[in-house]
Amino acid sequence: MIDEIADLCSDFGMIGGEAGSLLGNYRLLRNPIDPATIRALLNFSRAIDKITERIGSLTAGMVILTILVGFYNVIARYVGRLIGIQLSSNALIELQWYLFSMMFFLGFAYILKHGANVRVDFLYTNWTAKQQALVDLLGTLLFAIPFCILGIWVTIDPVLQSWGLLPDGNWGTWENSPDANGLPRAPIKTMIIVAFVTLLLQAIAQAIKYLAVYKGYPHAAEMIQADIENLPLE
């Protein structure tokens, strides 16, 4: 029925905007895709997966570094009071929450890849692999990817301003901490864009795998299941 409506509306030029896009996506799902194209797309998704895994490993190292910096800050504060010497600094205190923030920023894509995000799946678990792939694909295309693009769009100007971009297009000094001897703000604000970009790339990789599963490629389903079952950083 939807096919007939889409054909009729297309013939009369009645579809535009989001409706046309949705019907276009529907036709993409219904039409067959060349196996060579699927293989090329899966190779592209694997490349993104490798980048995400390396970022995940980097995030794991940040956990240890954050603990060490936090431990030093606590010890330095109390020992410094005892001996009357300033052993810590605003830079070290800010470094601790910088690292803590980066753990979240860089961990988004890794969580998405391994399916570690919170989800309510009391209906989802009873569906077939193809039905699950279709729901995941639509959710990724309609929500995850647009969210990432929107996030990049709304944060790019504040980040550039933090690096010193002036209203007249010239460049001034970058944004610094309001506390004495603190760290500059521009690098950590830039990590917001990095987080959205890495999450966007991984969302695209997941969408490719979901599409492959929906089109009947069991290898893609095995890739997704392996990512869910094998979470090295747990």
Residue 164 vs residue 20, higher pLDDT: 164
For 56, the token pair is 């995940």
Question: Among the ranges 19-33, 42-56, 76-90, which has the highest mean pLDDT value?
Answer: 42-56
Question: Is residue 10 predicted with pLDDT exceeding 50?
Answer: no
Pick from 98, 97, 96, 116: which is nearest to 56 by CA? 116
What crossing angle do the helices spanning 218-229 and 186-214 adopt, rounded to 10°? 140
DSSP 3-state of 179: coil
Cα atoms in the 13 Å half-sphere on the side-chain side of 140: 23
pLDDT at 29: 66
* Contact between 92 and 72 (Cβ < 8 Å): yes
Question: Is residue 19 predicted with pLDDT exceeding 50?
Answer: no
Phi, psi (deg, nearest 5) at residue 199: -65, -40
For residues 115-153, b (16+ Cβ closer than 10 Å) or e, as one string? eeeeeeeeeeeeeeeeebbbbbbbbbbeebbeebeebbe
* Contact between 77 and 88 (Cβ < 8 Å): yes
Overall average pLDDT of the 128-149 stretch: 94
The owner of tokens 């790339």 is 201
Q: What percent of the chain has pLDDT over 70?
A: 85
Q: How do residues 82-130 score in pLDDT, each as one tens digit?
A: 898 888 889 999 999 999 999 999 999 999 999 887 777 778 888 888 9
For 110, the token pair is 């890794």
d(CA 86, CA 73): 11
Domain boundary assignment for the chain: 48-229
d(CA 41, CA 47): 10
- Evaluated on CA atoms 165, 170, 171, 173, the torsion sign reads negative
d(CA 211, CA 189): 34
Q: How do residues 146-202 score in pLDDT, each as one tens digit?
A: 999 999 999 999 999 999 999 898 999 999 998 888 999 999 999 999 999 999 999
DSSP 3-state of 134: helix
Report the largest interatomic distance among the alpha carbons of the chain, rounded to a whole angstrom: 84
